[in-house]
Amino acid sequence: MKRMTMIGVCFLNLTLSLTLILGGVAWAGKGGGGKGDGQGMSSTPSMSEEVQAPMKSWKMKEKEAGEKLQQQDQQRMKKQEEVRERIHQTEEKGQRLEKKARERTEQELEEGAKGLEKQKKMKMEQAQKELGKGSEQGQKMREEKRKKWWKFWGE
């Protein structure tokens, strides 16, 4: 955008220079008689009017372009700020979720440890209850059933 503006400025300067040179030459030749015959400057538009019209147009275009650039910059900055805010919110949400997951895992581990202890306790109680019950043959059968498969060949 800046490069195009620079090219436009150079082109405008060249155009104005040529207008001044050619307009000045044409104006100088139209007078005919000189100072006393009433022609000359009053019969043709003044040089400043010819130059001022393109200059005003150029200045207005330059001002409009500058305002447009400022608006675009403001919009771009606003979008960047919105993106930063979304990133920040996402990071916070991720941290909250991570914290919840960590707490849940710790709670499950604690519950699992409690469950194992409870299971061991119940097994011990069951074994104590079974000690005095049933015949010798029934006790031997229960004992064999409780043995693990890998212990069968070891004993």
Contact 16, 54 (CB under 8 A): yes
Q: What percent of the chain clears pLDDT 90, i.e. is strictly above it?
A: 26
Whether pLDDT at 117 is above 70:
yes
Q: How many angstroms separate the CA atoms of 119 and 62, rounded?
A: 84
Q: How many helices (H) and strands (E) does the chain have?
A: 4, 0
Would you state the pLDDT for residue 23?
64
pLDDT tens digit sequence for 52-95: 777 778 888 888 999 999 999 999 999 999 999 999 999 999 99
Q: What is the pTM of this model?
A: 0.35
Would you state the pLDDT for residue 37?
47
Across the range 99-128, mean pLDDT stands at 84
The mean of the pLDDT values for the chain is: 76
